[in-house]
């Protein structure tokens, strides 16, 4: 049985910015279109009308559309994107190259902007994954999704900046099998 994660729709005004847990708006039409895709997927696969979302509006907004259609929407703070501390909301170009180099040099343990490090994100993601029963549907964030993929596909390895996977595109889904 697979679990399904959709990356939230593209938010507005984020190009070139570090957004992490910065709460940014999404065009309501994009939220509705993703809700439509989730609903079709659930119907095709005969899945429960239940979805997990983070409290950030780019995820929770999809849940709001589904809730209007009778879905059970579970808002889970542990599904939040990585927190980038003082980097939150800033243009990537305004972050000192030495800070980005320090993160790349110790990708798993360095806390960008004094926020959350990847080891903390992995712990949060793995705890959530272990607490779930399959199958489930979720609207998530790129960093969270990549951490979940890494934990389930390469559990004995720790990522480096050079080995971190490309993000799932906005509004696209990923199947995830958890074998805990």
Of 178 and 50, more confident = 50
List Cα–Cα distances, 26 to 11, 141, 165, 167, in angstroms: 4, 13, 25, 18
> Does residue 56 fall inside a structural domain?
yes
> What CATH number did the domain enclosing 135 receive?
3.40.50.1240
> Does residue 165 fall inside a structural domain?
yes
Q: Mean pLDDT in the chain?
A: 96
Q: C-alpha angle 102/142/155, rounded to 5°?
A: 75
Which pLDDT value is given to residue 2? 85
pLDDT band at 96 (very low <50, low <70, confident <90, very high): very high
Closest CA to 177 of 124, 134, 128, 123: 134
> Does residue 49 fall inside a structural domain?
yes
Cβ atoms of residues 139 and 42 within 8 Å: no
**Rounded Cα–Cα distance for residues 72 and 92 (Å):** 37
pTM score of the predicted model: 0.95
pLDDT band at 1 (very low <50, low <70, confident <90, very high): low
Q: C-alpha angle 77/15/53, rounded to 5°?
A: 20
Mean pLDDT of 70-94: 98
Convert the pLDDT of each residue in 113-152 to its tens digit: 999 999 999 999 999 999 998 789 999 999 999 999 999 9
Residue 23, domain extent: 3-141+151-176
> Does residue 146 fall inside a structural domain?
no
Number of domain units in the chain: 1
Which pLDDT value is given to residue 33? 98
> Does residue 51 fall inside a structural domain?
yes
Closest CA to 35 of 80, 70, 76: 70
Mean pLDDT of 40-61: 97
**Rounded Cα–Cα distance for residues 173 and 7 (Å):** 6
Convert the pLDDT of each residue in 102-116 to its tens digit: 999 999 999 999 999
> Which residue spans within the chain are E strands per DSSP?
3-7, 50-53, 72-75, 137-140, 173-176
Which pLDDT value is given to residue 57? 97
């Amino acid at each position: 049985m697979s679990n399904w994660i959709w990356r939230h729709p593209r938010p507005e005004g984020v190009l070139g910015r570090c957004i992490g847990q910065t709460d940014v708006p999404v065009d309501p039409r994009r939220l509705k279109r993703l809700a439509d895709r989730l609903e079709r997927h659930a119907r095709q696969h005969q899945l429960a009308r239940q979805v997990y979302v983070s409290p950030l509006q780019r995820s929770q907004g999809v849940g709001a559309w589904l809730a209007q259609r009778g879905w059970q929407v579970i808002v889970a703070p542990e599904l939040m994107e990585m927190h980038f501390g003082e980097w939150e909301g800033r243009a990537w170009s305004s972050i000192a190259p030495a800070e980005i180099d320090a993160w790349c040099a110790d990708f798993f343990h360095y806390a960008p902007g004094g926020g959350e490090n990847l080891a903390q994100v992995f712990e949060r993601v793995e705890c959530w994954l272990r607490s779930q029963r399959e199958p489930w549907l979720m609207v998530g964030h790129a960093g969270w999704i990549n951490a979940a993929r890494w934990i389930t596909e390469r559990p004995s390895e720790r990522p480096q900046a050079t080995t971190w996977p490309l993000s799932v595109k906005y509004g696209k889904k990923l199947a995830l099998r958890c074998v805990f």
